[in-house]
Chains A and B, each alone.
Chain A
Amino acid sequence: MISLDPRGLVNRALLVGVSEYDFTEPPHGVPGDLPSVKRNLNRMREALAGGQVFGERDVKVLPSPSLAEFGQALQRSAREAEGLLLVYFAGHGAIPSGGDELFLQMRDAKVIAGRHTVFHGAEKFSDLLATMLATSPAQRIVVVLDCCFAGNAAPVWEHFDDKRRVLLLMSVQANHRIDAGDARTPTPFTAALAALLDEDRDTTLSDLADRLRGRMTALGLRTLRDDPWEPQLRTDLGVDVLLRSKATEDGGGNPVLPVPVPVPPPPGPGPVLRSFRALLSAPLAPLRGVCATLIGRFRTIVVPHPPRRAVVRVVLPAVLAAGLLGLGVYGLLRHAGYVGDAPACDPPLELRVLTDPDLEPTIRAAADAYLTSDENTTGDGCRRTGATVYSAGSSDVVGALRGQTGAWQEPPDEDVNPQRDIGPQPDIWIPASRAEVDRVEDGQDTDAVAGLEADEEPLAYSPVVLAVPQNIASEALEDRTGLSLGEMVGDLTARDENAAVRRPDPEFTDMGLLATVGLYGEDGRAVARGERLVAQPGSPSPTAAELLCTLPDDDAVDNSTAALVPEFLLRSGVGCDLTTRSPRLAQYPDDVPGVEPTFVRVMWRGGHRDAPARDASAERFRDWLAGERGGGQVFARYGFRSADDQKLLDEEHVAEGVLREPTPLDESAGRDAMARTLDAYQEAGGPGRVLFLLDSSGSMTRLWKGPSGGPGLLRQSLGGLGGQDEYGVWAVAGTGDDPAYGALLPLGPHTRAEAERAVDTGARVRDAEADPHAALLAALDEMRDRGDDRRPQLIVHLTDGEDNNRLTGDRLDDVLTAARTSGVPVTVVSLQSGGCDRDRPDRRIADASDGRCLDADDDLGAALHDEVARTGTGEG
């Protein structure tokens, strides 16, 4: 029985790091949290998983478990392992005043001092060994302890008869305490251990221990008694095990760069004393009597070797405090040493939370409340987690999660960049319907680098309603429930022939897509009819909230237009600039699926550096969001219903126009219905036609290069166009006898590559002024001539507005008249700040044609892409 090569066997590693403790206050608490231990887990996981002995799935990480959780996980790993079982512990270690035992303190650790000190929430090392030996068939069991007094495990091991297959690596010799080091890096012992495990060579445990001792000596690390810090190994003679293997020639291993071992900085005296005073304040007094015997013991240890003046002042009293309880000093040093030059709290782990644009205000309010909640606050008053909530167009998000996760992780070039165009890589995604998750998973690339884990149950519920202006609404219950959307709209137009219906953009918000499911009727057949019902001049409002804010711009429209919006907006959808809105009554169609915000964890390949902590943070936030007292209160305030019974969460304050218990409501949206509806919507108008006018006059020189320049913006927007769409690009420069424009790309169907090539090779700034008047009139003519096929059309004019002196007086009137009568929206992208201010020519042309005016104050790339995508058939 000598060295074992466990490769190919069933191996398990259980990495336990207790960085956060529930009880850190005297008299029963442990000395404090251990932020650096949090870093140990990630570091060890990487080091072990890179060595060919353990696969990624063989390594189980357990951040800050309770004793009960630890026990369960230990048994599971022990049972499963057949070759090598490795158990690693980092956290507080404590010893009783007499006897050879070591207690590994878990998250729920408490110390009840007395004649026989009781250690609650701590694993006795002898129990740990007994459990493993009893339950595990593993050929080798390696235990690694990184805690104060780790060496006190050795005598326990000695007393076990069947210890032969157990190998014990301890961070420090018996009865010694050690510094946990800088909170920003792993503890010194684990940092050294992991660095050696990273080295691309065959490494056995005994070899590792040898090199570890050498490395720590070389670094000059010392224990708190100022002795040389010497890791300890205990094995039966000749027993050894391979922990990592050299990568093979074909790259089977993961070469990892050596990581420098951080040396803990010397403590500064000022803050140390302050922290220490806080620590030693009154609560310790009652213990003095019962622990008196310990004081003498530690005094003899500490005093003879004062390491440095600053440390004497720190360590002596700190050790006395620790000695009173027989505890390790990891926590104390966090207050007394490292934190001397940093605030008490670590910057928290950041969660990136992506949601639907119409859910953003609610989720943001929830996140704000969570950040300052007790659940997100440690015993030290620190925030556990930070969170940033943002949103992006729903079909862009689905498209990116399906087919662009690689580009999201590593944008390949300036044209395809979801980091810029959608936003941060989410850790959490909260779409408005579970069906969106299914749509992603159904069509996701096989080489996707993001995986989704969706909750089965939604967080809340809100039906999509037909919000009808009160003056044309029916208050009769039978008109407001139990009918299909088609029937309701039919009744509405029968009551008022001028009544209209609008819905938000189905590609931008799930609210619009859910409404469209109802519009297209059973089996999604009534596409054309559904689209006729919601036909409107110009583009649909991007979100439901904006739709409700846009309608009051024109009282006549507001009073005669019903809106398909989620019910919750009737309560929370305020905040528009115009506060006078037509009051509305909600009607509850029985064939429109409702909004069901669903919590989805997104995991990125390679993004596992802090996986346990990130998982735990996400889970805590999820639990809070789903809880009645946490997220439940926010969803109630924002007008949502319970996902369980569809009852209003706040039954006291029911918004005007809302029914308490409307029935029946449609069931959840299905993946197929959503996908089919979106496809049908995109094809409803058939492929589109887009003509780009690219100002190429001399003044564009400084607005030409890079993704924010004219050609760059144009290229980015090509993603909104599909192979069926027709589009072309005109370069606009030239006045007088010089032609006002020239075609870079003729109007017609193109592949994206072909179009990009044409822009790349053809687009040039010319040393000439531009004549936007002539170019726009020609473009409007061209589109009018081609418009008989009823395709959706769009003209995009990218310009710096430098030559708008040719767009004044009669010339401007010409263009405005043509724009108004052509039926072709003109979207102007003004590359100067304020280019879309009221009364500017660009703004007036956009308004006259029902197009949009975008200027440098907007997020131009994303906004133009959305505009073009509304006309084209590309997805994302």
Chain B
Amino acid sequence: MSSAAATVSEHGFDAYLAHKRRRRINNWLLVACSLALLAWCFWDTIMFDTDWQRMGGVLGIGGTLERFLLIDWSLLPKLMVPALETLMMATLGTILGCVFSLPVAWFGAANVTPSKYFFYPFGRFLMVLSRSIHEIIWALLFVGAVGLGALPGILAVAMRSVGFISKITAEAIENIDPKPVEAIRAVGGNQFQVMYYGIVPQILPVIIGTIIFEWDINIRRSAIMGLVGAGGLGLVFFRQMAMFNYGGVTLVVLAVLVLIAIGEVVSHYARKAVI
């Protein structure tokens, strides 16, 4: 508003109108270009790439959907243990992710980093690396390193959560009140005491909130780690898929939903208790 008023007072009303018209034309051009791009994407991906004949029309899709909707309830008792395994993997992955993100956050927080020119960019790079690689790719890499089983799944979940936890932690460290730190330094506290008494109490609520949030996300991540043989609901999902038992697949998806709903309720109350 203030810039518009300034334009009016400096160059008169006509200039203001011209400015406004130019902006509107620019906006329309932007919208038109985006729509054209989207239309081209739509044509290229959906019209050009899809094999409509093979899909078998509405009847074929309806038939497949019907097989999904006939839920196979007999699988239900066999889902309890995998659901617990998924929960365990998510929890272990989150805790391990916290352990890994401690040094990363320490390196990547500008005010406590050991060296601004080497460790700070390194810590930031590790954060971006962890977030940019999808958990499936992490899992594939770790299967090569430690073999099949629950461990690569947990490590993949942990590596994926490092980025988020350490980024939030580093930001919390950068925003702390420097006075307690200075006070502890002034009375002769060493580096460890500065961290333990000066920094940790200030950032603890934020970190615990973040960890609970990440745990919630990690439940859904660990639900697909059956791909690498990590067990849990993911393994049941892939097995049911391989057996073409679509009713069972639907039940597994519902079980994941219930598990995450429980996780969301728990994390809601846990965060309330912490903050």
Do A and B come together as binding partners? no
